[in-house]
Amino acid sequence: MNIFGIGLPEMAVIAAIGLLVFGPKRLPELGRTLGRTLKGFQSASSNFEQEFRKAIDSEADTVVTATSVAINEAPAPAAETVAPAQATTTASPVPAASSAAAAEPPAASEPPAAAA
């Protein structure tokens, strides 16, 4: 038997200490008071849990309703076909280098020719 993480031997020790501290006349009264207090906490916890669940359920229903309304009122996709864009060239052509200029090497990079 394990209540609130307290086993039977621990409960017996607590009861013996309570009997010594409060006496045999007040111990039953304290037990009843403790039982009523625990019952009150349990009912308050149960009420809180029920209210919390109601709030979550009503919020979930609101979201589901709003989503279904939004889906039903959504416009149908357009059935138009879009023609592909035609390729156009907007860049101007780059002039090619002349063949004469390409054949001439730069003068500074050549060593001087030796006379024969």
User: Taking the chain (116 residues) in consecutive chunks of 10 residues, what is each chunk's mean pLDDT?
Assistant: 78 87 86 90 92 88 75 64 65 58 56 58
Q: What is the pLDDT of residue 85?
A: 67
**14 Cβ contact partners less than 8 Å away, ≥ 6 residues apart:** 6
Q: Is 71 a domain residue?
A: no
Q: Is 36 a domain residue?
A: yes
Q: What is the pTM of this model?
A: 0.40
Contact 7, 1 (CB under 8 A): yes
Q: Is 101 a domain residue?
A: no
> Residue 46 is part of which domain span?
26-62
Q: What is the pLDDT of residue 31?
A: 83
Q: Is 50 a domain residue?
A: yes
**3 Cβ contact partners less than 8 Å away, ≥ 6 residues apart:** 11
Q: How far apart are CA 40 and CA 20, in angstroms?
A: 28
Q: Is 88 a domain residue?
A: no
Q: Is 55 a domain residue?
A: yes
Structure tokens at 73: 């009122």
Domain count along the chain: 1
Q: What is the pLDDT of residue 25?
A: 87
Q: What is the pLDDT of residue 39?
A: 92
Q: Is 109 a domain residue?
A: no
What is the DSSP-derived secondary structure letter of residue 2? Answer: E
